[in-house]
Amino acid sequence: MSLKSRDLIGIKELEPGDIELVLDTAAGFKDVLGRDIKKVPALRGRTVVNLFYEPSTRTRTSFELAAKRLSTDVINFSVSTSSVVKGETLRDTAMNIQALGADFIIVRHSCAGTAHFLAKNLNASVINAGDGTNEHPTQALLDLFTIKEAKGGISGLNVAIVGDVLHSRVAKSNIYALKKLGARVRLIGPPTLIPAYMKELGVELYTDMNEGLKDVDIIMMLRIQMERQGKGFFPSTDEYFRNWGLTSERISRAKKDVIVMHPGPMNRGVEISSDVADGRMSVILEQVTNGLAVRMAVLYLLSGVKA
Amino acid sequence: MKLLIKNGHVIDPSQGIDETADILIEDGKIKEISGRGEPAGGMKENESGMKTGERGVIDAGGLIVMPGLVDIHVHFREPGFEYKETIKSGAGAAIRGGITSVCCMPNTNPVNDNSSITQFILKKAAMEGICNIYPVGCITKGQKGRELAEMTMMHEAGCVAFSDDGRPVEDSLMMRRALEYSRVFDAPVISHCEDLMLAAGGVMNEGLLSVLLGLKGVPAQAEEIMVARDIALAELTGGRLHLAHVSTKGSVELIRAAKKRGVAAISAETCPHYFSITEEAVRGYNTNAKVNPPLRGREDLEAIKKGLADGTIDVIVTDHAPHHMDEKVREFDLAPPGISGLETSVGLSMKLVDEGVLTLKQLVEKMALNPAGIVGIRKGSIKPGYDADICIIDTEREYRVDAAGFSSKGRNTPFDKWDLKGKPVITICKGVVNELS
């Protein structure tokens, strides 16, 4: 089995069946990761380049480790020390990396559409590791994998996504993915960060946290980017936490078996209290573990190797 | 030297002509117009060696003959950005588009904010421009919005209008002063309506599609707030206000209401891209559809058409904004906004005639007569005594847009490979008959 496309640009471009395929394949790789010898030879001889124009710890490490577990050669292309600082364009940089024989280019960039742009210009498989405020598809896939593990399925679940949806590529990819697999999605947060027209995505909008969390199966918290402070999106982190911070008291309005997710990095005391982040409902670290299996599945499925 | 254009369907709203007629040109001026079959004394074909089929006679049978088109909003990029466009290449593109007079915006480098730059542009235009070129001067020094530029001196040097185009005059008091001061020399102040704080660095229309593409949106209100402000200031000052590149339904409604009140001298323009395509053209991160103001929604497009039809919008301009390919083949956020529009304007505008939005006569008003009147140039008409600037259009000619073949250096168009109907086939300007392939 393999994906129809050579690239993973976004969840928008995927069919529900594609998403299911990734999740099923990831389950197999998760088993591999539980063994003593965690490496398989599936993609031996292939080259993976991490092209990160934005800082990242977990996504880059996760992709690097996933690629290594599949026996590929991995190169981390560090933008600050490259010719990009000499003014090389994105297209030229990517063409040069391809000329070195890269089979996969995993790209993160602050501009939306970057992965789309590279996929159009390159023969290598392009994987979007986050493009501006557009999408972060592997994060959504690993989130769905985590939900499926906890709940057995996606369809019919009530999912609350809380916080800065406007600027969150994680939220966008999750909305698309959850909708495609039949979940109901609500967005909770200040209207400055969840503009009214987002309703057209087929989601419900809430400004009241207590109301929004009522009877949900899943709570996905988003990171409040500290640089948003002072830009008029909300008056202070104190007030933000007071209105939309996730506390154990607030969780009581959700279903009893609710799970709490966060893509990281967390701002404890800003969007989530420590007791919740570290509490029994939290699957935040499982998300990180599952990310590895999901990224292995994505690399594998895009490689065109027959299973 | 004499030239006879015979058998054409002549449309000249300035004289109420909309019929088959012959036009005699002598020494680069319109000499005479008359109906077929009754040529006046000066129009006999055998005079001065002019016979059908020879150079001195153009048989315009089956074609529309109209005044050379007037585009009061173009960017020719010279001085400073000659790699994008020059006065020479821009003028060539204008002629290809049936346009014989253009007003070039002052956001060059250096900007046209003093008479020596104006003189430079006019000198280059005289030497290299095959169409008529009228500079637009800056409203404020350096387009910085803080102090008025030397508008009278620029006007005397040849500027026909004033604008900080590319940027709004953000300070309302400065805009008030500009509108007041412009009454000294009676030239319009052209407003680029954009509330920069509200636009907040957005790169496309705000709405569902901007969310789906992850691109930062600009709400229609960023334009409309400034349209409303400038209308209020025009009413306050009595200055002549011309609103550039109107793109939203709300703007059309504001202008319509203001014109109805009749309290201020207001005119408005739009561009073919605002009545031909919507924000949907941005899908796929198409940087050739990145333009400022951004392409809007379907309702806006319909409102623009309605505004053209009922006279709310007086003028069709191109806002011709050529860019180098290297600047457009990149991240959408980082690509400069702008469309190279001179060579597709007639074809796209002719769709309005086909759809019944405008009559051909109205089209000529909006693309020749009205713009000439707004900037106060003796163009847009083929009255006897006027310069022989003429555009001849084959309204039945079907063709495919080929950006690679543009005369403009800017191939940045969302209309490449579009099939259009209606094409300028001959443009006459400065005594030269340009036959267009």
Predicted confidence band at B431 (pLDDT cuts at 50, 70, 90)?
confident
Q: Give pLDDT tens digits for A152-161.
A: 999 999 999 9
| Residues B193 and B218: beta-carbon distance below 8 Å | no
**Residue of chain B whose Cα is closest to the Cα of A114:** B331
Q: Give the per-residue pLDDT at A260.
A: 98
Among A79, A107, A117, pick the best mutation site for testing chain B contact (most B Cβ within 10 A). A117
Q: Is B214 within 8 Å of A198 when comparing Cβ atoms?
A: no
Q: Give the per-residue pLDDT at B111.
A: 98
Looking at residue A197, the DSSP 8-state letter turns out to be G
A136 catalytic per annotation: yes
Q: In 3D, which of B143, B145, B125, B142 has the Cα closest to residue B134? A: B125
Which backbone phi and psi does B127 adopt, to 5 degrees? Answer: -80, -40
Predicted confidence band at A86 (pLDDT cuts at 50, 70, 90)?
confident
Q: In 3D, which of A267, A167, A162 has the Cα closest to residue A216? A: A162
Q: Is A113 within 8 Å of B215 when comparing Cβ atoms?
A: yes
CA neighbours closer than 13 Å in the CB half-sphere of residue B328: 22
Instruction: Please give the interface size between A and B, counted as residue pairs whose CB atoms are below 8 Å apart.
Output: 56
Q: Is B284 within 8 Å of A132 when comparing Cβ atoms?
A: no
Please indicate if any CB of chain B lies within 8 Å of the CB of A228: no
A95-99, A124-128, A256-260: the lowest-pLDDT one: A95-99
Mean pLDDT, range B70-94, rounded to an integer: 98
Q: Give the per-residue pLDDT at A81.
A: 65
Please indicate if any CB of chain B lies within 8 Å of the CB of A57: no
Secondary structure (DSSP) of A8-23: B--STT--HHHHHHHH
**Residue of chain A whose Cα is closest to the Cα of B327:** A89
Mean pLDDT, rounded, of chain B: 95
Q: Give pLDDT tens digits for B339-387.
A: 999 999 999 999 999 999 999 999 999 999 999 999 999 999 999 999 9
Collect all residues of chain B within an 8 Å Cβ-Cβ radius of residue A132: 214-215, 333
Collect all residues of chain A within an 8 Å Cβ-Cβ radius of residue B202: none
Q: Is B333 within 8 Å of A112 when comparing Cβ atoms?
A: yes
Mean pLDDT, rounded, of chain A: 93
Please indicate if any CB of chain B lies within 8 Å of the CB of A134: yes
Q: Give the per-residue pLDDT at B47.
A: 46
What is the nearest CA distance from A115 to chain B, expressed in angstroms? 10
B-side interface with A, Cβ within 8 Å? 206-208, 211-216, 284-285, 326, 329-334
Task: Give me the catalytic one of A46, A109, A116, A136.
Answer: A136
What is the nearest CA distance from B418 to chain A, expressed in angstroms? 21
Predicted confidence band at B44 (pLDDT cuts at 50, 70, 90)?
low
Terminal CA-CA length for chain A: 6
Q: Is A197 within 8 Å of B208 when comparing Cβ atoms?
A: yes
Collect all residues of chain B within an 8 Å Cβ-Cβ radius of residue A131: 214
Estimate the share of chain B in helix, then strand, then coil, as percent rounded to the nearest 5: 35, 25, 40
Task: Give me the catalytic one of B319, B387, B389, B394.
Answer: B319
Q: Give pLDDT tens digits for B303-324.
A: 999 999 999 999 999 999 999 9
Q: Is A113 within 8 Å of B285 when comparing Cβ atoms?
A: yes
Task: Give me the catalytic one of A12, A58, A60, A253.
Answer: A58
Q: Is A89 within 8 Å of B207 when comparing Cβ atoms?
A: no
ipTM, two decimals? 0.93
Dist. CA B371–CA B201, nearest whole Å: 31
Please indicate if any CB of chain B lies within 8 Å of the CB of A172: yes
Q: Give pLDDT tens digits for A24-55.
A: 999 999 999 999 999 999 999 999 999 999 88
Residue A249 clears pLDDT 80, i.e. is over it: yes
Dist. CA A208–CA A237, nearest whole Å: 17
- Give B118's contacts (C-beta < 8 A, 6+ positions apart): B112, B135, B137, B154, B157, B158, B159
Among A108, A111, A231, pick the best mutation site for testing chain B contact (most B Cβ within 10 A). A111
Predicted confidence band at A164 (pLDDT cuts at 50, 70, 90)?
very high
**Residue of chain B whose Cα is closest to the Cα of A173:** B212
Q: Is B214 within 8 Å of A112 when comparing Cβ atoms?
A: yes
Q: Give pLDDT tens digits for B381-415.
A: 999 999 999 999 999 999 999 999 999 999 999 99
Terminal CA-CA length for chain B: 25
Predicted confidence band at A1 (pLDDT cuts at 50, 70, 90)?
low
Q: Is A116 within 8 Å of B284 when comparing Cβ atoms?
A: yes
Task: Find the CB nearest A114 among B207, B326, B331.
Answer: B331
Predicted model pTM: 0.94
Predicted confidence band at B55 (pLDDT cuts at 50, 70, 90)?
low
Dist. CA A250–CA A216, nearest whole Å: 12
What is the nearest CA distance from A252 to chain B, expressed in angstroms? 32
B59 catalytic per annotation: no
Q: Is B285 within 8 Å of A116 when comparing Cβ atoms?
A: yes
Task: Find the CB nearest A117 among B206, B207, B331.
Answer: B331
Which backbone phi and psi does B38 adopt, to 5 degrees? Answer: -125, 60
Task: Find the CB nearest B330 among A91, A116, A132.
Answer: A91
Predicted confidence band at A211 (pLDDT cuts at 50, 70, 90)?
very high
| Residues B63 and B55: beta-carbon distance below 8 Å | no
- Give B98's contacts (C-beta < 8 A, 6+ positions apart): B68, B69, B345, B346, B391, B392, B393, B424, B427
Collect all residues of chain B within an 8 Å Cβ-Cβ radius of residue A197: 206-208, 211
User: B66: which strand partners?
Assistant: B391
Which backbone phi and psi does B25 adopt, to 5 degrees? Answer: -115, 135
Query: Percent of chain B beyond pLDDT 70?
Result: 95
Predicted confidence band at A178 (pLDDT cuts at 50, 70, 90)?
very high
Mean pLDDT, range B124-150, rounded to an integer: 97
